[in-house]
Chains A and B, each alone.
Chain A
Amino acid sequence: MLIELREVTKTYGKVTALAGLSVVLPEGAIGLLGPNGAGKTTMIRTLLGLIRIDSGGGRVLGHDLARDQLAIRRLVGFVPEDECLFPGMVGIEFAAYAGELVGMDGRDALRRAHEVLDYVGLGEARYRRVESYSTGMKQRLKIASAIVHDPRLLILDEPTNGMDPAGRDDVLELSIDLARNKGMSMLFSSHLLPDVEAVCEHVMVLGKGKLLAQGKIEDLKQPHDRQVEVRVKSDQAAFARLLRERGIEADPVDDYVLALLPLEAGTPSLWQAARDSGEQIRSLKPRRSTLEEVFLSAIKEQR
């Protein structure tokens, strides 16, 4: 088990950041979703043992949150959301220093720093002062310095925030590669749902310090009984029009038609319409909720 939290409560004065949060997360890439103030950052700090919780407990990678904080931090790599740098260093020193702070021997840290900087695409900039890096480069540098000691769990806090599309793609590519090909577990906190969907298999939704939803993304995206996605051979818009003329709610969306089947008729009505118009149905499948819908419905339920 990657993470296990039991009834974790954390308050700051009158503000309750985590309200009896209990969750068990398996190894793999986990998306951490939640609106502002949901408790995402507090949860991450709890996992890193950076804050003293009021009650409850838990384990990260088998280590107790309260007792083995340093052991947890040795096994975890963390990429903070804010822009943060060790000042006065060039890229290679930065990554090596990060490794040494975790406890790596100086020579090992330097060798690994070269490797991870190449891996994140900063090999050419390794001898440049980090203050001169662009936002995207700084983000990749933070990832490099978080994985320099080869952590078992990588925590990324809003890693694509404020980045241009190319930089965002780079970070997502790296995250996907680490999670899927390199076997690194990951906690990916973001409010950009497509990013979470691209990287993660599991997701947990936080709201007001409580767990609102959790599970595999595919399982959370519920299939709808009456809504179907129909893809036809020729003109999607014409087929949608034809369905509407027959009393079936239908709209062309991207390269398919989204249709709401009548209660009594079901899918035969679609086949009938296709036969009558000489159209060929290439695919027909029930519509599944998007991650956005899952997220919004979880938030709505809490309200």
Chain B
Amino acid sequence: MPIFDQGYQHWDGRLRGQASRIGVITARGIRVQLRNRWVRWILVASLGPAFLLSIFLIIWGLFETKSTLLTPFFVLFQNLPEELKAGPKGYRGAIWTLAVRQFFEAQLFFSMVLVLLVGPDLISQDLRFNALPLYLSRPVRRFEYFLGKLGVIAVFLGATTILPVLLAFLLGFGFSLDPTVVRDTGRLFLGSIAFGLVVVGSAGLLMLAFSSLSRNSRYVGATWLVFWLVGNITATILGDTVNQDWCQLTSYTQNLVRVRDSLIGADEAWDRVQRLFQAGREQFDSIARGPFNRGRRGRGPEPPSRSRRQQRSSWVQNYLAPAQYPWWWSAGVLGGIAGASILILTSRVRSLDRLD
């Protein structure tokens, strides 16, 4: 079609407010990322733990109300301590906390994978195709550009961490039929949201910083993978050899876990449940195998030998119990990483106030 066939019409519509720019950048980024089928698959897969958490909170609600719906499953609750069976509401907060903690354990993995899939393109492609002058010559400030890009990661991580928790809480509240549930789990609720925000802020800033370091998004993805996995491997090796508290600080996800445990009050919940099960060592072991004893039906679990029991107890302490070092160590590490990320971002994504 030759030029000018359609002519040129003037436009006199109204422009939206300044804050809309962030939303526009975020919405565009989300649309582009959702074209990646791996992103869609991971999003669907991340619903699994959310589904399990919801089921657990529903069952717990029914258990509290001694619902007849649970009668066919009575055998599953047989091995629980009497104190728990007699007054489950007294342990509501602790049990919910440990359930949410396990949920976050799974979601942290999905979050890391999602950031790996979604994040590398965000700034590196803009640098590669020199898109910054196009953004900054429009009424978009540099921090709005960053926030818009961060929003893309925030939406994906929010969809896998914060949103499922909100829905699970709503279901839990609904099935408890007890207004005191708000009081008992209020801290957990706020802590969960806060942890979701910590993951979004920390992982988002870090990935944006990585993304600004290269014009090739594959390198960015590789850097993220190395940072994530090598940190974990290092922490494991150091933990086994040096066996000091600080060894865990070398793992990025372990730092997130430590902050999470502190925010949702997992330390207290763990102690409480541990004390509950101290009455019978076997009963305590049963929780190490899962919330419901999957031992032999109709009978209590056979007492394991002393060495097996010690082994199991040590496994529980190593892999399920919250870490014992102060949470602010990890918070400091995450804060440092966030500070370094901001520094990298501001130096790599420069304003146009410079000589070319």
Interface, chain A (partner B; CB < 8 A): 12, 15, 17, 41, 45, 48, 50-52, 70-71, 73-74, 78, 80, 82-89, 97-98, 100-105, 108, 112, 115-116, 118-121, 123-124, 131, 145, 147, 149-150, 170, 173-174, 177-178, 182
- Interface segment among B130-138, B241-249, B294-302, B308-316: the answer is B130-138
Contact A48 B355 (CB under 8 A): no
Please name the residue on chain A nearest to B13 by beta carbon.
A108
19 new A-B contacts, CB < 8 A, other than A80-B137, A103-B18, A147-B8, are A45-B353, A50-B136, A84-B131, A85-B131, A86-B131, A87-B126, A88-B32, A101-B138, A101-B139, A103-B21, A105-B16, A108-B11, A108-B13, A116-B8, A118-B5, A119-B8, A150-B12, A173-B4, A177-B4
Is B69 an interface residue, CB under 8 A from the partner?
no
Asked whether A83 and B16 contact (CB < 8 A) given A51-B353, A112-B11, A119-B6, the answer is no
Contact B352 A51 (CB under 8 A): yes
Contact A101 B24 (CB under 8 A): yes
A-B pair number, CB within 8 angstroms: 129
Q: Which residues of A contact B7 (CB under 8 A)?
A: 119
Q: How large is the interface on B (under 10, 10 to 19, 20 to 34, 35 or more residues)?
A: 35 or more
Q: Which of B98-137 contact A (CB under 8 A)?
A: 121, 125-126, 128-137
Instruction: Bits for B322-356, please: 1 = Cβ < 8 Å to A, else 0.
Output: 00000000000000000000000000000111111
Please name the residue on chain B nearest to A178 by beta carbon.
B8
Interface, chain B (partner A; CB < 8 A): 1-18, 20-21, 24-25, 28, 32, 121, 125-126, 128-141, 351-356
Q: Distance in Å from the Cβ of A215 to the closest Cβ of chain B? A: 28
Q: Which residues of A contact B3 (CB under 8 A)?
A: 119-121, 170, 173-174
CA distance A97 to B8 in the complex (A): 19
Q: Which residues of B contact A131 (CB under 8 A)?
A: 129
CA distance A51 to B356 in the complex (A): 13
Please name the residue on chain A nearest to B135 by beta carbon.
A101
CA distance A88 to B11 in the complex (A): 27
Contact A50 B352 (CB under 8 A): yes
Q: Distance in Å from the Cβ of A69 to the closest Cβ of chain B? A: 8
Contact A17 B4 (CB under 8 A): no
CA distance A182 to B7 in the complex (A): 10
Q: Distance in Å from the Cβ of B243 to the closest Cβ of chain A? A: 48
Contact B20 A103 (CB under 8 A): yes
Contact B138 A102 (CB under 8 A): yes
Q: Distance in Å from the Cβ of A297 to the closest Cβ of chain B? A: 28
Q: Which residues of A contact B137 (CB under 8 A)?
A: 48, 50, 73, 78, 80
Q: Distance in Å from the Cβ of B209 to the closest Cβ of chain A? A: 19
Contact A83 B130 (CB under 8 A): yes
